Amino acid sequence: MFMKNVIHQDDPEKILNLYTLFIKSSVQLTLFTTKEESIKFTINNITDNNTLQIEYINSSDKEKLIENKLYNITCAMEGASYTFVSHYESNPELLSIASIITVIEKRAYERFGTEKFPKPYLKVNMHEDQYTFILCDLSQGGLAFLVSAQLAKNFIARKSIEIKEIGSKRFSTPIKAVIIHCGPYQKDNTKGIQTSQSFHKVGIQFSEIPNLD
C-alpha cells in the first residue's frame, strides 16, 4: 500500500525555492488547457517582476493558451508530485507565481531519517571499485545517499549498482539496485530550501527487498 504525505505550501519564500529547484533540475511541467489538452514546458527563470519565464517543449503549444486565464499545472520529481495554479495574462512566455503549491509525497514504504544511525553510511560497488557514501534516508524499498558533485555524473537514472554495506549491516551477496534520480542536494531548514554546491543526492530502488534487521 502506498503512503501519501500531503503538504499545502503557502510560504512565499519556500515557493520561490521550489521553483528554483524546478529550474536547476530542468523539471518538465504539464499545463492543462480548458479543452483538457496537456502542454509541456520547463521554467527557465524567475523574472524581476516575480513571474515565471517558461519554454515550451512544442513551441506551437503557446497558441492554445487563452489570455487572462488560470491554468492548472503539475510536475513530478524525486517521488513527489507538485500541483499549482498559475495566471496567464498575455505574454505566452510568462506565467504568474502560484500563491500555494500542493506537494504530495507517495511512497510504497515508510522512509526513515538516518541522523541517529551509529554508522550513517553505505558502501557501493561501482566500476570494479568500492566507494563509501553518506546515507540520507532509508526504507524497505530503497534509499538515498550523498555523492560529491564531481562523482555525480557517474550516477545516471536506470543504471544498476550494487550495495555491499548499509550502516553496520554487511551483505555477503551485494544488494542489486537501480538509480532512480540524481540531482543537487536540497536541504529544508529555517531559511527555506537551500541547494548544496558540493553534493548531489542519489535515490535508488532495490531490485529485491533486502533484510535490513
pLDDT in tens, 197-212: 788 888 888 877 656 5
**Mean pLDDT over residues 33-44, rounded?**
90
Q: What is the pLDDT of residues 108-138, one digit of tens each?
A: 555 555 555 666 888 888 767 788 898 887 7
Q: Which residues contact 106 (CB under 8 A, 6 or more apart)?
A: 2, 3, 4, 79, 80, 81
**Which burial class, exposed, middle or buried, applies to 79 when counting CB atoms under 10 A from its CB (0-12, 13-18, 19+)?**
middle
The fourth-level CATH superfamily of domain 3-107 is Electron Transport, Fmn-binding Protein; Chain A (2.30.110.10)
Q: Report d(CA 27, CA 156) in Å as an integer.
A: 16
Domain 112-206 listed as CATH 2.40.10.220 = yes
Residue ranges of E strands in 47-189: 51-56, 69-77, 80-88, 94-96, 101-107, 112-113, 121-126, 129-138, 142-148, 160-166, 169-189
* pLDDT for residue 192 is more than 60: no
Q: Is the pLDDT of residue 213 over 60?
A: no
pLDDT mean over 48-70? 92
Q: How confident is the model at residue 4 (pLDDT cuts 50, 70, 90)?
A: low
CATH topology agreement for domains 3-107 and 112-206: no
> Which cell is 53 given?
519565464
Q: Counting beta carbons within 10 angstroms of the beta carbon of residue 163, is it exposed (0 to 12), middle (13 to 18) or buried (19 or more)? A: buried
Q: Is the pLDDT of residue 162 over 70?
A: yes
Residue type, 89: E
* pLDDT of res. 105: 72
Integer Cα distance of 179 and 177 in angstroms: 7
Residue 2: what pLDDT?
45
Q: Which residue type does 72 have?
A: N
Q: Is 141 helix (H, G, I), strand (E, B) or coil?
A: coil
pLDDT at 75 over 60: yes
pLDDT reported for residue 183 = 78
- Cell 534516508 -> residue: 137
Radius of gyration of the chain (CA): 20
Q: Looking at the predicted structure, is the pLDDT value of residue 88 above 80?
A: yes
Angstrom distances, CA of residue 182 to CA of 120, 161, 172, 197, 212: 19, 13, 27, 14, 24
Domain boundaries, the chain: 3-107, 112-206
- How far is residue 143 from each of residues 4, 25, 51, 99, measured CA to CA in Å? 17, 20, 35, 32
